[in-house]
Amino acid sequence: MSEIVGDIRYAARQLVRQPLYSFVIVLLMALAIAGNAAVFRVFNGLFLKPLPFHESGQLVDLDETAPAWDLEFLSVMYRDFVAWREANSTFESMALYSEGGGNFVGEGSARRVTTLLATHDLDDVLRLEPLMGRFLEPAEDTPDGPRAAVLSEGFWQREFGGDPDVLGRTISIDGFPIEVVGILPPEARYFGQHDLWLPLRGDVDVTGSWSYNGVGRLRADVTPEQALADLTSIHKGLVDERPVNDISSPVITPLRDRFLGEYRLGAGFLLGAVGIVLLIACANIAGLMAVRAMARSQEMGIRRAMGAPKGRIVRQLLTESFVLAGIGALVGGGLGYWGSEFLVRPLAEQFPAFVRFDLDLRFFLFTLAITAGAAIGFGLAPALRAAGASEAGALSNRSTTGRRRKRAIGLLVAGEVALALVLLVVGGLSSLDVRQLGRTDPGFDAEGVVSFRLNLPSQRYEDSPARLAFAERYLQELDAVPGVESAAIASSLPLGGHWGWFFTAQAAP
């Protein structure tokens, strides 16, 4: 141990004597490690960090697919879900849910709140325990059942000041009186930032409506393939009773893959790109160290002549590499964390709530691993060459040694150029794709156009004539606003997705 400490002290003294050389290497290492650390933080949050649910490996997404309609994911029909839930033998529990919103009337004016309409099984699937009160019950999860709500902790604190007497109180959502029956635990936020959970109140008599998202928890000894075979058997067994079941079929996907699988290739490409940058940095540093080794060849030859073992010299030179890499890692790790904030903040709004980008042990181990790998990568070859210098080679055969080192440096430069060329070509092609996408004509002129969402209480505007009358009055008032050329109301905006309905046309007699 004392020898290692001595090597570190000696390495520090050597590096202090050449501050410019040390600064350049530390800067190169810091920038390369910063890029890798920043991208790995995102990659880790998306694909490596366990989901924040109990035994999350058993959680799967439930969907239906309809190849005949060219629809890979069709969502789930409520009555199909009920049949799966009642007859399956491969799931511990399963639930349906749908995200939405409502108008909450508290103290003062009405406010828009986010809601999660869910079957009473969702807490069982996610293995949650209420912070207060209880979750939704089966009796409330029926079309005519009593109206109940479970509040999020944030909504409870914000609207009711954390009052424990809120249980049993009646609140108004879209004009409907709803009883507060419980408070969600903090970890429920990982399933979405919703203000309230409300019962789905599904109706098995409604057909042709694939409107819901499904989630299930597999039994401990069941694979997704076995569960899919189970649900497919149930689904197809109902074709005679429900002909539409011949069009669709169940789909089971691990929860992470369902929501994040499409990003795996892009994230892997980005991680590979910064990895190439690290290799280029290592090649640059190796070239600098090779030049420095040429200047120290006489020193190494004298040390060999005085009986210093080759391994001892290699260890000393590698220690210098590790000291430089360590300083670079400290600076680069800090830069990487700071820089990754610019990636994480906008990305956090684009991904499901269960994706977390907080730092963990895996992040630090990755940074440590690439630091050690880089130190060995750029330090080992120069150290071996320098330690291999003999007394004769150092003192009387410098020309031959110099030619060998020049060839080695030439190979390093060629490698750098090759890696940089690959990175440049791939980056250029990606830039062209982005540029082309930005030039795509959407088919309409968006200049000066603004949009906003308007939500009508379903109790007050419960049928189409009432909603149409409101729309006509509202458009008249909008047209009268100074500066407004024209106004319109639509159920969906261009490029914003849409809701659709399926129907079966009867043959003409």
DSSP class of 166: G
pLDDT of residue 313: 76
SS3 call for 291: helix
Neighbours of 473 (CB within 10 A): 10
8 A C-beta contact, residue 231 and residue 83: no
CB-based burial, 406-435: b 16+ in 10 Å, e otherwise: eebbeebeebbeebeeebeeeeeeeeeeee
User: Residue 488 pLDDT > 60, yes or no?
Assistant: yes
Indicate the pairing of strand 110-118 with strand 196-199.
Answer: parallel
Round the average pLDDT of the chain to a whole number and report it. Answer: 83
Q: Please name the amino acid found at residue 449.
A: V
What confidence category does residue 509 fall into, taking pLDDT thresholds of 50, 70 and 90? very low
pLDDT of residue 306: 73
Arithmetic mean of pLDDT, 36-48: 89
What confidence category does residue 508 fall into, taking pLDDT thresholds of 50, 70 and 90? very low
Arithmetic mean of pLDDT, 104-131: 89
Q: How far apart are CA 283 and CA 279, in angstroms?
A: 6
Q: Mutual orientation of helices 361-387 and 310-348 as an angle, nearest 10°?
A: 150
Residue, of 123 and 419, whose pLDDT is higher: 123
Burial of 196 (0-12, 13-18, 19+ CB in 10 A): buried
Token output for 411: 């190979």
User: What's the chain's Rg over C-alpha atoms?
Assistant: 32
Neighbours of 268 (CB within 10 A): 12
What pLDDT digit, counting tens, does each position of 237-291 carry? 888 787 777 788 999 999 888 888 878 888 888 888 888 888 888 888 887 877 7
Q: How far apart are CA 452 and CA 487, in angstroms?
A: 12
Q: What are phi and psi of 237, to 5 degrees?
A: -70, -10
Q: Could you identify the residue written with the tokens 């729309």?
A: 471
8 A C-beta contact, residue 90 and residue 230: yes
Q: Could you identify the residue written with the tokens 């004009």?
A: 175
User: Residue 337 pLDDT > 90, yes or no?
Assistant: no
User: Residue 506 pLDDT > 70, yes or no?
Assistant: no
User: Residue 153 pLDDT > 80, yes or no?
Assistant: yes
pLDDT of residue 298: 66
Q: Could you identify the residue written with the tokens 């920043």?
A: 38
Bin 412: left if φ > 0, else alpha if -120 < ψ < 50, else beta: alpha
User: Residue 124 pLDDT > 90, yes or no?
Assistant: yes
Q: How far apart are CA 328 and CA 27, in angstroms?
A: 7
Q: Domain segments of the chain: what residues?
A: 2-52+262-436, 75-247
Q: How far apart are CA 421 and CA 336, in angstroms?
A: 25
What pLDDT digit, counting tens, does each position of 286-328 carry? 878 777 777 666 666 666 677 667 777 788 888 888 898 899 9
8 A C-beta contact, residue 151 and residue 183: yes
Highest-pLDDT range among 63-77, 89-103, 456-470: 89-103
pLDDT of residue 270: 82
Q: Could you identify the residue written with the tokens 């505007």?
A: 461
pLDDT of residue 502: 55
Predicted TM-score (pTM) of the model is 0.76
SS3 call for 129: coil
What pLDDT digit, counting tens, does each position of 157-211 carry? 999 999 999 999 999 998 889 999 999 999 998 898 899 999 999 888 776 678 8
Indicate the pairing of strand 176-183 with strand 148-151.
Answer: parallel
